Amino acid sequence: MSMPLNVITGFLGSGKTTLLNRLLQDQSLGDTALLINEFGDIGIDHLLVQEVAPDTVLLPSGCVCCSVRGELKEALLALLARRSRGEVPAFRRVLLETTGLADPAPILATVNNDPQLRGRVHIGLLVTLVDASHAALQERLHPEWLAQVAAADRLLLSKTDCVDEATQAALREHLQRLNPGAPLLLTQAIQSGDQLLLGEGLRGATAEREVARWQLQGPLKAAAPQHGAAQVCSLEFEQALDWVGFGVWLSMLLRCHGERILRVKGLLNINANQAPIVIHGVQHCLHAPVHLPRWPSADHRSRLVFILRGLEPEQLRRSFEVFARSFAPVSYTHLTLPTIYSV
């Protein structure tokens, strides 16, 4: 049975280590394996840890803590092998702490595409920490900052005590425009590894609730047009979509422009099905589609929301129209223009 891999990412100094140190005191991580870069970064010396294998220790809560040396794939396979041999407790999930400069996309691609990991591990939630005191500078200087924010399922704001209320409010609004629908919380509000950090997202029992958080069927907040590093745009379709044609278009789009599509989320009416199909992806990596049991409302229009960098929304609309006419000329005569929001 496949188990979730949840990812905690955030730029250098955003507070990932501080958060993990606090969570490691809690029993809720007892059925979790934690993958970190270096033991020295996490304050576990005082926790009476038990070494169970090279680079692997068992914490008092039952959490298995491993140091990643080399490739993520090898670390995961070694960890799963130790679990199957009974050398470590039978954990139910893996929590990965990334380096500060890590772009999440290659991590997601490794888990989704590697034949040895497929069916054994799947991506759960991606949580990004944002340093309120340095966010503006980091966004301006480092493209990884935007990639981490756009890919997040949850956003945690840290070091808010270092900025005034006006700065914090402006940053909150900016983050919510960059990643509409991602819950935004303060790190000090996270006291345990609860469902906020350890849930399974669309692969769990609360997939409908997760999709509701995306707010795909609600209006996006409009922003004054300006030149920026990212744009959020939506495409809405009145007619039911042809799955084959849509799949070809999206695959080609991600293959040609994946590095410029930081995130895509969609709620789709496929061939007038009774229930919608949910898609989501990060750059070149597209997760497996999820079938919801029912529509969240009486509105059955398909809607896609993109977070783009260096790609004009009008190009998306034009490219889809070309494919739509090729696969189902009649069904797509009423394509609505994308609603475009600049951030």
Residue 270 DSSP symbol? B
Strands (E), the chain: 3-10, 32-36, 50-53, 56-58, 64-67, 93-97, 121-131, 154-158, 184-186, 231-237, 261-268, 277-282, 285-286, 290-291, 302-308, 339-342
Domains in the chain: boundaries: 3-205, 217-342
Q: Say which residue the tokens 């896609």 belong to.
A: 304
Architecture of domain 217-342: 2-Layer Sandwich (3.30)
Mean pLDDT of 141-155: 91
What is the model's pLDDT at position 337? 43
What is the model's pLDDT at position 84? 92
Contact 321, 335 (CB under 8 A): yes
> Could you tell me the two tokens for 233?
């745009």
Mean pLDDT of 26-33: 74
Q: Rounded distance, CA 57 to CA 69, Å?
A: 14
What is the model's pLDDT at position 102? 79
Four-point Cα dihedral 145, 146, 148, 149, nearest 10: 120
Of the ranges 4-18, 28-42, 51-65, 111-125, which one carries the lowest mean pLDDT score? Answer: 51-65
What is the model's pLDDT at position 343? 44
Q: Rounded distance, CA 60 to CA 132, Å?
A: 33
List the CATH code of the domain at 3-205.
Answer: 3.40.50.300
Q: Is the pLDDT of residue 80 over 50?
A: yes
**Which residue, 139, 129, 153, is CA-closest to 230?**
139
**Which residue, 224, 222, 130, is CA-closest to 168?**
130
Specify the higher pLDDT residue, 49 or 296. 296
Per-residue pLDDT tens for 253-282?
A: 998 998 999 999 999 998 867 799 999 999
What is the model's pLDDT at position 331? 42
Contact 149, 128 (CB under 8 A): yes
Mean pLDDT of 227-232: 68
Q: Identify the helix (H) or strand (E) that includes residue 110.
A: helix 104-113
Collapsing DSSP to helix, strand or coil, 91 comes out as coil
Task: Give the length of the chain.
Answer: 343
Report the amino acid identity of residue 278: V
What is the model's pLDDT at position 196? 57
pTM score, two decimals?
A: 0.81
Contact 119, 28 (CB under 8 A): no
